[in-house]
Amino acid sequence: MLLLTLGTAAGGGVPQWNCACPGCSGARAHPDRRRTHDSLAVLGPDPSSWFLVNAGPDVADHLEAHTALRPGPGDERTPVVRVLLTDAELDHTIGLLRLREARNIEVHATAPVRQALRERLALDTTLTPYTTLSWHDLPQAGEKPTDVAGIEVSAVHLSTKRPRYAADAPEDSGWVVAVRLHDPVRGSTALYAPALAEWSEEFGEEAAAADCVFVDGTFWDDEEPRRLGISARTSTGMGHLPIEGPGGTAERLAPLPARCLYTHFNNTNPLVDPSAPEHGILADRGLEVAQDGMVIEL
């Protein structure tokens, strides 16, 4: 199983078009600091068959940036695109509109996410004139997984956090999930959780059993959003466990045997600056900061 970290930023990317904070200004001055919206490409036993975990506004650039994701020799078009969704947030889903040139878009999502996209965003109505949308259920971990391009996939339910456009929708633990990816040939497992509101017992067990874990790195500490004036809520209040501090994810990830990487960085997170001392703090714990374009083989 090959994992390509197509993007590693939270909503808005780095730099964010309307922001001149140190993180955004630094990314404008140093293009190597730029980060696109978080997304993961997965290649299984057949390297010509791949799928995505989340599809944000940068999806076309993501696909073009990697040779393995382009149409092969003799293929004029990519006929089918498969996408697994961790939630219904706009920065993880509006790339589906950009994929309209495919003959078929297969979307794997939980029931509340699927309903929000079909009823609130009217994706079926919008995309039907261009392509065919095929909707598939994303089973919960412990249930029989779904085979996608030779990889067994399932979801670890995480929280009831709904996107703003569906704030009045019923609560459901399937609104935000981690995607579990298992390669039955090699026996390797990866866990992808770009949004993590709480560290549940189930998630902890799945993380301890995985070979590679991607975890929400939106904010460095819980007070970051309030301290920098971007929100009246804390990181936890916004649905993202912080990396550092009491209840932070770093202390939970450090003892795990898996390779652990952070992704989904907000533009205010000091980790978007490669010279920030916070990188050393994580490195001392054996934890990594994911970068756009990383390749991980499991």
43 and 1 in contact (C-beta within 8 Å)?
yes
CA distance 291 to 288: 9
Q: What is the pLDDT of residues 260-286, one digit of tens each?
A: 999 999 999 999 999 999 999 999 999
Range 2-297: architecture per CATH: 4-Layer Sandwich (3.60)
Quick one: which of 26, 15, 20, 158 has its CA closest to 85? 158
Contact 103, 131 (CB under 8 A): yes
**pLDDT tens track for 129-173:** 999 999 999 999 889 999 999 999 999 999 999 999 999 999 999
Q: Which residue has the higher pLDDT, 247 or 58?
A: 58
pLDDT computed for residue 96 by the predictor: 98
Distances (CA, A) of 234 to 46, 121, 230: 43, 28, 10
Could you give the CA distance from residue 217 to residue 119 in angstroms, rounded to a whole number?
Answer: 30
* Residues 6 or more apart whose Cβ sits within 8 Å of residue 17: none
Residue ranges of domains in the chain: 2-297
> In the structure, what pLDDT confidence band is assigned to residue 26 with cuts at 50, 70 and 90?
very high
User: Which amino acid makes up residue 9?
Assistant: A
Q: Average pLDDT for residues 115-127, to the nearest whole number?
A: 97
Summarize pLDDT for 237-267 with one digit per residue, the tens: 999 999 999 889 999 999 999 999 999 999 9
